[in-house]
Amino acid sequence: MHDLRQTKSFLFLILGAALLVLFWQTQGNTKLTIYCAHDSVFAEEILREFERREGVPIEIKYDTEATKSLGLVERIIREKDRPQCDVFWNNELLGTLDLAQRGLLKEHKGKGWERTPAQWRDEEGMWAGFGGRMRMKIVNTSRTDHAEPTAERAAHFAIAKPLYGTTLSQFSALWAMWGPEKTKRWHTDIRAAGVQIANGNAAVRDLVANGAAGAGWTDTDDFFDAKDAGFSVAATPVVLEGGATICIPNTVAIMKDAKRGDLARMLADYLLSARTELALAKSKARQIPLGPLTPQQTASLPEEVRELIPAAAKGVAQKGMLKARNECLEWLKVEYLK
C-alpha cells in the first residue's frame, strides 16, 4: 500500500511537471516576435505602448546602425525554413519588396492598409508604409564647401557606406535613373576624388556637424539630431533629376509563417495608424506622416515636419525599383566586401 501511494505521488509529480512545462511553452508562444530596423530609441516606446495597451507580450530584435535594414532582411531570408519573425518593421521599402518577391510575406488588408495612400502600400496587401524620412543634404554652416561630390572634388563630402539602409535606397534610385554604367563611373570617380565614406548616416551627421566634412547625405532624423544638439548645420532635401525627392517610408509586413497571426495583424494596424504616425512626427526623429490626418492633427505637427510634407509628396516611386536595387547591391558587395 505504501509503495502504491509512492507510485501515485510520483505520477502526480511527473504530471504536474509536464503541465508546468506545457503552461510555460504556451505562455512563450503568445509572445509576438518583431524584427525592427528602425532606431530603437524611437521604436521601443511605440512598441512597448502597443504591448501595454493591447496586453500582448512582445520580443523585439533590432539591427545595428552599420547594417540597418539589410542585416534583418538577410536574416529573414536565412531563416525562411525555420522562421522566427512574426512582424517586420523595416526602416525602408526596397528590402521589404525583396521579401515580398521571395514569397515570405502574408497578405493583410486591414484598417491600417486601408488608411495608407496607394503610393505607399502594396496592392496585394503584402506591406504598407508609414512615417517617412527624407534623404537630406546636410551642410556645416561654418564651412562654405557644400557642393555635390564630383570627379574633380569630393573630399569635402561624406556619404554612408551604400551597402545598407537609406543610402542603398538612394544609390538604387540613381541606378534606376542613370543606368548601371553611369552610376558605376560616378561612384568610382567620387571615391577616387576622396569622398569620405562613413559607417552609417549617424556617422555622416557627425562628420559634418564636427566640421570634418563640409556636407554629406543623411536622413532627416540624423539632421534633426545634430540641429537639436546645437551644431551649426542646415539641410535641404536631396533632389534627383526631374525634381523628384527621396522619401523613404517605414514599412510593416507580416511574415508568411507568422505563428501569431491575429496578434501580428493587430500590430500592423497599430503601426499604420494616425496615432503611430503622430508619435513618430512628434519624436526627435520628426518623421513625416504618409496617411491622412485631420486638420487638428496636422496643426499639432512640429513646423519642421509640416514644411517637409510637400517634398515627401514628390518622392520618387520605389515600387518598381527592386530590380535596380538588387543589381546595385550585388555590384556594391563586390566593391566594398573585397
pLDDT of the residue at 27:
43
Rounded to two decimals, the pTM is 0.85
Cβ atoms within 10 Å of 23's Cβ, excluding its own = 10
Q: What is the average per-residue pLDDT within 125-139?
A: 98
Q: What is the average per-residue pLDDT within 122-146?
A: 98
Q: According to the 3-state scheme, what is the secondary structure of 74-85?
A: HHHHHCCCCCCC
State the DSSP H helix or E strand holding residue 29, giving kind and residue range, or none if neither: helix 2-29
pLDDT of the residue at 11:
47
CB of 217 within 8 A of CB of 174? no
pLDDT of the residue at 171:
98
d(CA 150, CA 189): 7
For residue 136, the SS3 value is strand
CB of 169 within 8 A of CB of 98? no
Phi, then psi, of 216 in degrees rounded to 5: -175, 175
For the chain, the straight-line distance linking the first and the last C-alpha, in angstroms and rounded, comes to 76
Walk me through the domains of the chain, giving residue ranges and CATH numbers: 29-132+248-305 (3.40.190.10), 134-245+325-336 (3.40.190.10)
d(CA 186, CA 165): 20
